[in-house]
Chain A
Amino acid sequence: MTETQEALRLEGITKVYPNGVIANKDINFSVNVGEIHALSGENGAGKTTLMKILFGEEKPTAGEIFIDGDKVNIQNPSDAIRLGIGLVHQHFMLVPSLTVTENLILGIEPVKGLRIDERKARDQVSEISKKYHLIVDPDAKIQDLTVGQKQKVEILKTLLRGVRILILDEPTAVLTPQETKELFYELKLLRSAGYTIIFISHKLNEVKELCDRITIIRHGQTMGVFDVSSVSEEEISRLMVGRAVKLKVEKEAANPGAAAIRVRGLTILDDSGKPKVKNVSFTARRGEIFGVAGVEGNGQSQLTDAITGLGGYQSGSIEINGLNISGKSVREIREHKLSHIPEDRMKTGIAPRLSIENNVIADKIFRKDFNRFGFLNLSKIAAYGLEMVNRFRVSCKSAQVHINSLSGGNIQKVVLARELSSDPDVIIANQPTRGVDVGATEFIRQELVGMRNQGKTVFLISSDLGEILGLSDSLIVLYEGEITAYFPDASSVTEEELGRYMLGVEKQSDAEIRRAVHE
């Protein structure tokens, strides 16, 4: 590019949330026409808030927005779209029971008389989808598409609305390596067609591969704008976190012992009788991190629910430390030294309007330390809350504040504090670092490895390939509720290889998979 033209400029953006959190502090941010611009920072640094302000989903406390040099006032997402700004959410906003075409034209239907001009709609869709190589079957129903395809529909949706500035909020978080590669190809095509793309991510290798420039945000402030080619990943991560971060988890070889979780022939059906987990057998041993890889929605949630006693199962057996958990309550299973870091901390992991200290004792309320003949020992609870906050480095004013006044990463640390402090033997960790900043991620991973080094079993479910490969000692891959692969040594697996099993392109032989049972 010989001449750079500014597509978008945010000036002095400040945002204070009703709970007093300053998400953005006097941020300046500008993007040129025809570039892919990375917006990076830890979670909770304020990237998403900034983009929500740009897209009209949040109102800034102060600051101005300019598009093509003109000051604009964006009140809501329709304003933003009219101004040519499109946002592809991390969680897709599509109607599952409608077809791709129907979803795409929703609200902008070409009409012939009173009826929707279906042929024209289809033509529009296939034209634009061919042009940018975003190939999806226009007549397929959204519910039958893979995650990667749904994302293409989301991108097409914004293009069809005449958007010129495209914001992608952590688009690769849910993709396999193959899908990511495809997405990058498509995005590069869009760039050469003159589109401006804002790519929100904290995966630095992706930023290096795809983007032209990067803006780094930390604690709600801009740490600078750089040409991606002129900074190293280490420099970027240091700017994001404020200190040098170990990007790789360091751990010694595992020394697996006796069986801790024994699952045999487990089958789980959903409400409509469709199998979600099909005849799954494996053994997770003491002193190892046992990984479960897979694209989300391939039976991981049902499997964790069954193991932790939250959900039922139709056939097979589950043993935790020798206890068959059939018919056992969550409390009984937990008393058998099982801990659970849930997938969705906001929905399952906390009581949002209770204090931090009340949240860390929720699983220990029956224990003598805190409960004397039904009465709470308030001073012990307060002391314990304080201890947890300090040990797990939760940044908060005190342990008495409502937990929902904390950032996502700190909430996750509270969950971790509760679950790891209950002296568990088996830790079920479902997406333990999702939506958690780099610093906290490093901390959480170290804690999990520490647990494993003490001879405990960590059962790790994660859709983050780097995490699952970096942390696991051995791992299984779930595809449509079945184990498609077992790797006794996770360090020998590449992301591409794993991706093929995750997508169901390949499957190991039954004999290979049966090794997961260890008998």
Chain B
Amino acid sequence: MNEKRINLLVDLARVGIIISITLALVFLIVFLASQEPFVAIYSFFIGPFTSIRRIGNIVEAGAPLMFTALAVIIIFRSGLFSMISEGAFFIGITGAMIAAIAWRLPFPLHPFGAILFGGFCGAVAALIPALLRMKWSVSEVVTSIMLNYVIQFLSIYLVNYHFREISSSSLASLLLEPTAKLPVIFPGTRIHVGILIALAACIVLYLFLYRTALGYSIRVVGDNQTFARYSGINAAKTMLFAQIIAGFIAGIGGASELLGMYTRFKWTSSPGYGWTGIVVALLAKRNPLLVPIAALFIGYMNVGADIMARSSDVSREVVDIIQGVMMLLIAAEALLGGFRQRLIVSAAKLEDSLKSPEIKLKQEKGV
């Protein structure tokens, strides 16, 4: 067994363990909290598959996570720890809302323009913490988190004072122009064109990272910034580029979420897809091609939790607990380290014994 195979095996075993612990946790919580645990567990695990509509819900829940996870991957790969994916996603929603309400365009052009505009807003948002970091070495972790709040309140302000539906008692924007809506692709569900954009983004981003010079530069900068500089790669510029791309993707995600799933902007706070996107990115091992699977898994958990909350006495906050625990487990790099070490030792010994024993212990002049 070579090292790659060992790593794959250990990774698979780790995912298995993470999921098992997660499931065990679900059982534990449900049995502690519920009067009717079997109903709750049934609705959590099986519920999401009981109708076409619910299966659709899984995909719908996964789509925005794919975008934010891709953004997180690009940001982390470039060596920054900006948390801006949340804000970039939300400002993407807001940008698309403005475009969808204010612009007058025919159908394919309208959503296309609105999504691009959402992406643009996201890119600008993501650029800010990165620029502050480059110019004045302000920690991007702090500025991005703060900026997420700024974006949240700016968006709510815009809706409240400029795009509000006066007749509605709760916070809601004016109706989006029907020409701006993304069409549904599976009748009977709300799965919309946005999921196709998300899947395409995963592939494009993979190709970008591994097949283009800029993607290569991002990987080099993220791995060792000093080395990048030494090789003649402009580390600062590369990092800025990475932020723009990440913000753009998150912004597109926000835009297509709004145009595919909603008729009005109704959020009163940032929806948190950016944070969950970090879980998805880590679960996908920072590989864009694994993002859809990870996103759908988290989507499934969310849908299951919703159904459980509706049909039993267990609340949906359970899912947040579970996600927190999963994040800890994923971050625990040393999990199964001993198992990996044993495999490596036996593989190394095997390989060693296969080699012709060219070095014989020569005790020429002993003591």
Interface of A toward B, CB cutoff 8 Å: 16, 18-22, 25, 61, 213, 218-219, 221-227, 230-231, 239, 242, 308, 310, 329-331, 333-335, 340, 342, 347-354, 358, 362-363, 365-366, 370-371, 374-376, 378, 397, 401, 405
Min CB distance B175 to A, Å, is 42
Q: Within the complex, which residue of B212, B224, B362 is in contact with A376, where a contact is CB–CB below 8 Å?
A: B212
B227 at the interface (CB under 8 A from A): yes
Contacts of A333 in B (CB 8 A): 232
Min CB distance A238 to B, Å, is 11
A-B pairs, top 10 by smallest CB distance, nearest first, are A331-B232, A362-B231, A351-B223, A16-B345, A330-B232, A351-B224, A20-B344, A363-B231, A20-B348, A334-B232
Alpha-carbon distance between A219 and B362 when the two chains are bound, in angstroms: 13
Can you show 17 pairs from A to B with CB atoms below 8 A apart?
Answer: A16-B348, A18-B340, A19-B3, A22-B352, A61-B345, A218-B359, A221-B361, A231-B365, A334-B231, A335-B232, A350-B224, A362-B228, A365-B216, A365-B231, A370-B213, A376-B213, A376-B216
Question: Is the pair B348, A363 in contact by a Cβ cutoff of 8 Å?
Answer: no
Question: Is the pair B214, A358 in contact by a Cβ cutoff of 8 Å?
Answer: no
Min CB distance A347 to B, Å, is 6
Alpha-carbon distance between A349 and B233 when the two chains are bound, in angstroms: 13
Question: Is the pair A213, B367 in contact by a Cβ cutoff of 8 Å?
Answer: yes
Question: Is the pair A365, B233 in contact by a Cβ cutoff of 8 Å?
Answer: yes
Closest chain B residue to A219 by CB distance? B359
Question: Is the pair A16, B344 in contact by a Cβ cutoff of 8 Å?
Answer: yes
Alpha-carbon distance between A20 and B345 when the two chains are bound, in angstroms: 6
* Residue of A21, A352, A365, A378 ringed by the most chain B CB atoms within 10 A: A365
Closest chain B residue to A418 by CB distance? B231
Min CB distance A15 to B, Å, is 10
Contacts of A348 in B (CB 8 A): 226-227, 230
Alpha-carbon distance between A348 and B232 when the two chains are bound, in angstroms: 12
Question: Is the pair B345, A226 in contact by a Cβ cutoff of 8 Å?
Answer: no
Question: Is the pair A365, B227 in contact by a Cβ cutoff of 8 Å?
Answer: no
Question: Is the pair B362, A224 in contact by a Cβ cutoff of 8 Å?
Answer: yes
Alpha-carbon distance between A354 and B220 when the two chains are bound, in angstroms: 8
Using known A-B contacts A20-B348, A365-B233, determine if residue A350 contacts B227 with beta carbons closer than 8 Å.
yes
Alpha-carbon distance between A221 and B355 when the two chains are bound, in angstroms: 15
CB interface residues, B 237-286, toward A, < 8 Å: none
Contacts of B178 in A (CB 8 A): none
B219 at the interface (CB under 8 A from A): yes
Closest chain A residue to B230 by CB distance? A348
Alpha-carbon distance between A223 and B365 when the two chains are bound, in angstroms: 10
Contacts of B349 in A (CB 8 A): 16, 22
Alpha-carbon distance between A331 and B213 when the two chains are bound, in angstroms: 15
B131 at the interface (CB under 8 A from A): no
Alpha-carbon distance between A19 and B340 when the two chains are bound, in angstroms: 10
Closest chain B residue to A400 by CB distance? B4
Question: Is the pair A22, B3 in contact by a Cβ cutoff of 8 Å?
Answer: no
Contacts of A401 in B (CB 8 A): 3
Question: Is the pair A362, B227 in contact by a Cβ cutoff of 8 Å?
Answer: yes
Min CB distance A367 to B, Å, is 10
Contacts of A22 in B (CB 8 A): 348-349, 352
Question: Is the pair B211, A378 in contact by a Cβ cutoff of 8 Å?
Answer: yes
Question: Is the pair A374, B213 in contact by a Cβ cutoff of 8 Å?
Answer: yes
Alpha-carbon distance between A61 and B348 when the two chains are bound, in angstroms: 12
Alpha-carbon distance between A441 and B189 when the two chains are bound, in angstroms: 67
Question: Is the pair A397, B224 in contact by a Cβ cutoff of 8 Å?
Answer: no
Using known A-B contacts A219-B359, A222-B361, A334-B232, determine if residue A374 contacts B367 with beta carbons closer than 8 Å.
no
Question: Is the pair B232, A20 in contact by a Cβ cutoff of 8 Å?
Answer: no
Alpha-carbon distance between A333 and B224 when the two chains are bound, in angstroms: 20
Alpha-carbon distance between A308 and B232 when the two chains are bound, in angstroms: 10
Alpha-carbon distance between A90 and B352 when the two chains are bound, in angstroms: 31
Contacts of B16 in A (CB 8 A): none
Min CB distance A368 to B, Å, is 11
Closest chain B residue to A62 by CB distance? B345
Contacts of B344 in A (CB 8 A): 16, 18-20
Alpha-carbon distance between A342 and B226 when the two chains are bound, in angstroms: 11
Min CB distance A102 to B, Å, is 33
Question: Is the pair B3, A20 in contact by a Cβ cutoff of 8 Å?
Answer: yes
Min CB distance B13 to A, Å, is 16
Min CB distance A389 to B, Å, is 17
B169 at the interface (CB under 8 A from A): no
B162 at the interface (CB under 8 A from A): no
* Residue of B230, B234, B349, B362 ringed by the most chain A CB atoms within 10 A: B230
Question: Is the pair B223, A331 in contact by a Cβ cutoff of 8 Å?
Answer: no
Alpha-carbon distance between A308 and B211 when the two chains are bound, in angstroms: 29
Alpha-carbon distance between A333 and B232 when the two chains are bound, in angstroms: 9
Alpha-carbon distance between A330 and B341 when the two chains are bound, in angstroms: 41
Closest chain A residue to B217 by CB distance? A365
Q: Within the complex, which residue of A18, A222, A363, A371 is in contact with B232, where a contact is CB–CB below 8 Å?
A: A363
Question: Is the pair B341, A18 in contact by a Cβ cutoff of 8 Å?
Answer: yes
Using known A-B contacts A19-B344, A374-B214, determine if residue A405 contacts B3 with beta carbons closer than 8 Å.
yes
Question: Is the pair A224, B231 in contact by a Cβ cutoff of 8 Å?
Answer: no
Question: Is the pair B226, A347 in contact by a Cβ cutoff of 8 Å?
Answer: yes
Alpha-carbon distance between A239 and B363 when the two chains are bound, in angstroms: 11
Closest chain A residue to B227 by CB distance? A351
Alpha-carbon distance between A378 and B213 when the two chains are bound, in angstroms: 11
Question: Is the pair B230, A330 in contact by a Cβ cutoff of 8 Å?
Answer: yes
Alpha-carbon distance between A352 and B227 when the two chains are bound, in angstroms: 10
Contacts of A350 in B (CB 8 A): 224, 227
Contacts of B366 in A (CB 8 A): 224-225
Q: Within the complex, which residue of A227, A340, A397 is in contact with B230, where a contact is CB–CB below 8 Å?
A: A340
B290 at the interface (CB under 8 A from A): no
Alpha-carbon distance between A347 and B341 when the two chains are bound, in angstroms: 26
Question: Is the pair B234, A331 in contact by a Cβ cutoff of 8 Å?
Answer: yes
Task: Map CB proximity to A onto B327-367 as digits: 1 under 8 Å, 0 otherwise.
Answer: 00000000001001100110111001000000101111111
Question: Is the pair B3, A349 in contact by a Cβ cutoff of 8 Å?
Answer: no
Contacts of A231 in B (CB 8 A): 365
Question: Is the pair B229, A221 in contact by a Cβ cutoff of 8 Å?
Answer: no
Contacts of B341 in A (CB 8 A): 16, 18
* Residue of B219, B232, B348 ringed by the most chain A CB atoms within 10 A: B232
Alpha-carbon distance between A347 and B224 when the two chains are bound, in angstroms: 8
B2 at the interface (CB under 8 A from A): yes
Contacts of B233 in A (CB 8 A): 331, 362, 365
Contacts of A61 in B (CB 8 A): 345
A-B contact sample (8 more), CB < 8 A, given A374-B214, A401-B3: A18-B340, A22-B352, A223-B362, A225-B366, A231-B365, A351-B224, A353-B223, A362-B220
Min CB distance A40 to B, Å, is 15
Contacts of A349 in B (CB 8 A): 227, 230
Closest chain B residue to A215 by CB distance? B367
Contacts of B359 in A (CB 8 A): 218-219, 221, 223, 242
Question: Is the pair A329, B220 in contact by a Cβ cutoff of 8 Å?
Answer: no
Using known A-B contacts A22-B348, A224-B362, A224-B363, determine if residue A366 contacts B213 with beta carbons closer than 8 Å.
yes
* Residue of A224, A333, A362, A397 ringed by the most chain B CB atoms within 10 A: A362
Min CB distance A342 to B, Å, is 6
Min CB distance A479 to B, Å, is 27
Contacts of B210 in A (CB 8 A): 376
Closest chain A residue to B337 by CB distance? A18
Min CB distance B76 to A, Å, is 13
Min CB distance A380 to B, Å, is 13
Alpha-carbon distance between A54 and B367 when the two chains are bound, in angstroms: 22
Contacts of B234 in A (CB 8 A): 329, 331
Question: Is the pair B213, A375 in contact by a Cβ cutoff of 8 Å?
Answer: yes
Min CB distance B314 to A, Å, is 41
Question: Is the pair A351, B348 in contact by a Cβ cutoff of 8 Å?
Answer: no
* Residue of A20, A25, A218, A225 ringed by the most chain B CB atoms within 10 A: A20
Contacts of B364 in A (CB 8 A): 224, 226
Contacts of A227 in B (CB 8 A): 365, 367
